[in-house]
Amino acid sequence: MKKTTIYDIAKELNITAATVSRALNNNPRISEDTKKLVQETAQRLNYKQNRVAQALKSGKSNNVGVVVPYINRNFFSNIIRGIEEELNPKGYHVIISQTHEKANKEIDIVQNLLNAQVDGILISISRQTSSDEHFVQVLEKNVPLIFFDRKKEIKGGSSVTLDDFDGAYQATKHLIEQGCQKIAHMTIDLSLLIYQNRLAGYKKALTDHGMTFKPEYVIGLQSEIVAGKDAAQKLMELPEPPDAIFSSTDLGALGAIQYLKEIGLKIPDDFCVVGFSNEPFTQFMELPITSVDQAPLTMGKTAAKVFLEQMDSEGVKIEKNVVLNPTLEIRKSSLKKGK
């Protein structure tokens, strides 16, 4: 079947193709009646605009790429929701891609988004990402680049992140205030800045309160529940096991709690646990888990606003780094003193 063109619409209405094009692109020179008539005819004739050709002509596609490690994680899905809530009313369409924590997949995605003439790229980098080249390429093409949550330090790139250091500091300080003396820390990938900052916040809270940092109390894990159970078991097999865990992930905290219960420890009476991210399950469990809230909806909205600000800057390059304040949501898993 032959595709409908603007010339078919022009012939149908006995007007010029230029008038049809202007009407479809909401040109102020065209009357509202003509715009309405052209749009109705286009719909009736099943006309589809070629967005790529339109982008090449206007230099603006109204498409924005959003890249996350996983779409099905509550944290990232809420960020995407925040981005869409800000961008959709402004006429932007969001193209969502996931890297599955693979650097080569991330590079391909960024290249494909550039080929699709997107107006901007908002991204949370994968765990494997080490190269900056694909990000430099984005900036060289004058496409706004905004990192959120996980970022790369690149001149010209903007970012919206959480104060992970402060979140970890608050969590560790809370455990100390509850009377915990031997606090362990579960981390994930220390090649990523967010986990480096959480480890640093944990260490600082210990030293500020006169406690000694013990390297054997820091244990790596993946973000799965099973890894949390395994890590907790290793910690409890130490000659001097801890009496509390601050985990960089809520799933790790959940796994730790499951193991601690299996060996007969009462939480929080015998052992306290704090997580990070404030996943929905943390508050609805039989034993609600204390966790650092990352405000993903706010993060998404803020990243979108930074992008819009760059689009409104009329060619002036803007580099903006926004740091959001974390909140510690205190629940039963850490309340040894009951308050």
Residue partners of 57: CB distance under 8 A and separation at least 6: none
CATH 1.10.260.40 in the chain: give the residue spans: 6-49
DSSP string, 256-323: HHHHHHHTT--TTTT-EEEEEE--THHHHSSSPPEEEE--HHHHHHHHHHHHHHHHTTTT-----EEE
The model's pLDDT over 237-287, given as tens digits with 9 standing for 90+, comes to: 999 999 999 999 999 999 999 999 999 999 999 999 999 999 999 998 999
Mean pLDDT of 193-217: 96
Give me the pLDDT at residue 144, please.
95
| CA nearest to 202, candidates 221, 219, 183, 225 | 183
In the block, which residue shows the tokens 């406690």? 211
Counts of helices then strands in the chain (DSSP H, E): 13, 12
pLDDT given for residue 289 in this prediction? 97
Q: Where in the chain is the domain with CATH 3.40.50.2300?
A: 58-163+296-324, 164-294+328-334
The CATH number assigned to the domain with range 58-163+296-324 reads 3.40.50.2300
| CATH fold label, 164-294+328-334 | Rossmann fold (3.40.50)
Q: For domain 6-49, which architecture applies?
A: Orthogonal Bundle (1.10)
* pLDDT value at 223 more than 80: no
Peptide bond before residue 326 is cis, with ω within 30 degrees of 0: no
Closest Cα partner for 277 from 297, 291, 298? Answer: 291
Closest CA to 115 of 134, 133, 102: 134
